[in-house]
Amino acid sequence: MADAPPPPPIAQNPDIRYLGRLLGDVIRAYGGDALFRRIEYIRSASVDRARGVSGEVDSGLDALSIDDTLAFTRGFMLFSMLANLAEDRQGVATDPDADLAAALERLAAHGIGSDQALELLDHGLIVPVLTAHPTEVRRKSMLDHRNRIANLMRLRDAGMAETPEGDVIEEAIVRQIALLWQTRPLRRERLFVADEIESALSYLRDVFLPVLPVLYARWERVLGARPRSFLKPGSWIGGDRDGNPYVTAETLRLALGLSSEAVLAHYCDLLHKLGGELSISNELAPVTAEVEALADLSHDDGPARADEPYRRAVTGIYARVAATYKATTGKLPARAPTHAADPYATPAELRRDLVDLAHALAAGGGGSLGSSGGLGRLIRAVETFGFHLATLDLRQNSDVHERVVAELLKVAGVEADYIALDEAAKVALLRRELRTARPLTGAHLAYGEETAGELAIVIAAAEAHARYGPAAITTYIISKTDSVSDLLEVDILLKEVGLYRPDDPASSTIMVVPLFETIEDLENGPAIMKAYFDLPEVSARVSARGYQEVMVGYSDSNKDGGYLTSVWSLNEASRALKPVFEKAGVAMQLFHGRGGAVGRGGGSAFGAILAQPAGTVKGRIRITEQGEVIAAKYGTKPAAALNLEAMAAATLLTSLDPGEVKGEQRFHAAMREISGNAFRAYRGLVYETEGFRTFFRQFTPINEIAGLKIGSRPASRTKSDRIEDLRAIPWVFSWAQARVMLPGWYGVGQALTDFEDKALLKDMASRWPFFQTTLANLEMVLAKSDMGIADRYLALVEDKAAGEAIFAQIRHGWDLARDAVLDLTGESRLLEGSPKLEESVRLRLPYIEPLNLLQIELIKRHRAGEDDPRIAEGIQLSINAIATALRNSG
């Protein structure tokens, strides 16, 4: 391909220039002028190389001592963190339709009114689900300082010279940057599940709780009516046991308990403020009988409030919420109530009292005091968060369930060797057990550690339903689902604690959800769901519920078959599931297991939702959010509002936008051929090339990543070094560190090149949302790759000839993918059509390249046996810095 014309100069974000200047001042002040000049020299040389001014990237690196290397790496990491902050403030790469008002305008152009949108949302469910999958390498202390800088920048935007506390804005920003410079970036200890629970809780409590009611108030104005709470937060943290032996019944109780404590404390705070606000006298305004009754029940007999029934009513409501807080946490809230009261049995009871207040306030003055303001936000919060804050999913591997049920049946004397039965016999036996009220377990029976642990989980789930309500846990996800018996086995466990009722299966309060992960699982999913729905007791249950969830996973399907085959297999599985659900008469609720990197389903969530097959969303979708993506999307209130609204807008558009793309069946046929060729190319490299496993483990910092203290789960499912047994996160993360990003593109270039009908490909690229999103993500990850830098990692491979041969295949695959993308987009360079994203990527490149080169040298020394602990620290710091700069890397 001919050389492309040079890209235009970077029009750098003024916030990045401003924060970069302050960072430089801090480095000079706290690290000394000599360190500042060394860092600035390396930065300038790297920028010149990126602009084509010079050919060397490592000028000045050799002069760094180990201590200077650590300081230099921290400096470049902090610049990237501040650049990320600046870009998040500007909404880089935000789609113009990514808010509800724009989505409604677009739908109106097709004759779809807001009444239809409202009806869809009233029956819909959109859930971002926070998971503990470990790709966030930064300590929470670092993120806290970052968020304080973001808040200070908002005050600066508003033209304020001082903070409300009286600090000069710029001095306060410099102070936070100085604290960042002097804060240890790396964790010294591996995270425990309790740490992950606390981290997730900080987002749920500090961001989701205040942001969602405000968003709903805006959406009410846009829709012209009040929708029900269709967007709610979810979590896996404390309930996801798949491959994590440290998640137990106790972590489940801890996660639920802390969440309930946080949301009830929030209600107490809002009620305290509301009591101060509602100073209405019954001598000046009429009061309804409902409010008078609430006031009388409050036992607030203070003479100063004798004519203030609203305040007295709020006092009584506060006392009942405080009693609820005590019943769930065992202690009183920070502000003790003035008298004892009965706790609320359900969130609906609390909502009813609050709505009585709102109706009374709305009765006069044209309704201006009704459900707006603090009372309106409190009502919306209760509807959205209940007494549990975020719905917590349970997840476990199907192999575990099979072993546990086998032991239960054996100990109970029902079946000596359940695992040896064929599928039909297993299903028949499980159905018989599910029809009887007789339990399999008993206090006098003894079980192995695994079975006892799984029984403890469902016991804790039953307790949670009794204490926090059924909304606390609604879903039980089964990893590696490949049969109907996998689903029924979970019902057996739930039945033991009363969460599945043999006399009324339709009343079961926890939905069993299959997770189809590998390419084969995705292909078999529709047949499994058809057989499941054909069971009368299952049909009755899902019909009563009205919907059934199916989870599809990108990570393992990508590791199994490559990027293109993964995204296409999920698309085909979703379309193939649609008629199965339609025949069963139930709505399909898709749950997408997305990560940060493109190889794990990453990229724009807005574009991904729009790219779903027609008719497969219909207002209901759940999406995992994890690792560094949580901090990027929900680290601040404005960022969270932007991303949550984008999810809502995309769901509305993909659910209501009319019809399929004309000629889409031809596109499907083409994609099957392209996917098959991409699959063969990917498998040929990763699983069939001799020595590839050894090459991967030497070429990338996979072993060093395993030492990072970024999560409570082990990096591999077993002790083997097979790629099949490696978790998808370190697989993707390590390729990103070496600047190859192989899981996000390998095989695609060969497949697109081999496809003969180029006109059809261009038609797909211009009109088909699925293919457009696929290409956009592919283009982004190709742009973040750098084969020149990646080539330097060959120095880590012991067999030079074998390493060069494998890398030659990788480089050729990247060239093919780049050329194919440029041919389809008509661009002269990657990201030419996305100038903001191009600027974002190009801005970072000069700051990542020296980090890569330092990382290579440090890994060489580490693997050669040098025992200086600063070398290991430097490697981990470089991993942290590169991940921060690349953003969606895990």
Nearest 5°: the CA angle 385, 386, 392 is 70
Beta-bridge partners for 624: 129
Phi, psi angles (nearest 5°) of residue 94: -75, 135
Cα dist from 836 to 251, 604, 640, whole Å: 42, 14, 20
State the Cα torsion 396-399-405-406 to the nearest 10°.
-160
Helix 140-157 vs helix 169-181: crossing angle, to nearest 10 = 160
Find all residues with CB under 8 Å of 348, minimum gap 6, and list them.
Answer: none
Q: How many CA atoms lie within 13 A of 308 on its CB side?
A: 18
Reported for 656-661, long-range contacts at CB under 8 A and 24+ positions apart, including other chains, are: 656/107, 656/112, 656/116, 656/117, 656/120, 657/106, 657/107, 657/110, 657/112, 658/110, 658/112, 659/614, 660/614, 661/767, 661/768, 661/769
**Rounded Cα–Cα distance for residues 789 and 786 (Å):** 5
Phi-psi region of 665 (alpha: psi -120 to 50; beta: other; left: phi over 0): alpha
Which of 59, 305, 81 shows the shortest CA–CA distance to 185? 81
Alpha-carbon torsion 204, 205, 208, 209, what sign? Answer: positive
- DSSP 8-state secondary structure symbol assigned to residue 206: I
Task: Tell me the Cα Rg of the chain.
Answer: 29
CB 138 within 8 A of CB 884: yes
Find all residues with CB under 8 Å of 289, minimum gap 6, and list them.
Answer: none
**Rounded Cα–Cα distance for residues 281 and 292 (Å):** 12
Alpha-carbon torsion 329, 332, 337, 342, what sign? Answer: positive
Out of 133, 465, 592, 862, the active site residue is: 133
Reported for 336-345, long-range contacts at CB under 8 A and 24+ positions apart, including other chains, are: 338/299, 338/300, 339/299, 339/300, 341/299, 341/316, 344/320, 344/387
3-state secondary structure of 392: strand
Give Dmax (Cα) for the chain: 92
**Rounded Cα–Cα distance for residues 555 and 732 (Å):** 9
The question of whether 273 is a catalytic residue gets the answer no
Tokens 């204490």 found at: 467
CB 430 within 8 A of CB 502: no
Which of 817, 818, 820, 792 shows the shortest CA–CA distance to 807? 792
3-state secondary structure of 485: helix
Find all residues with CB under 8 Å of 662, minimum gap 6, and list them.
Answer: 767
**Rounded Cα–Cα distance for residues 101 and 648 (Å):** 11
Phi, psi angles (nearest 5°) of residue 235: -155, 150
Out of 426, 559, 633, 862, the active site residue is: 559
CB 237 within 8 A of CB 255: yes
Which of 318, 331, 240, 226 shows the shortest CA–CA distance to 275? 318
3-state secondary structure of 477: strand
- Please tell me the total number of residues recorded for the chain in this structure: 890
The question of whether 530 is a catalytic residue gets the answer no
State the Cα torsion 856-857-858-862 to the nearest 10°.
100
**Rounded Cα–Cα distance for residues 450 and 405 (Å):** 11
State the Cα torsion 29-34-35-38 to the nearest 10°.
140
**Rounded Cα–Cα distance for residues 501 and 70 (Å):** 60
Tokens 């009444």 found at: 115
Catalytic residues: 133, 559
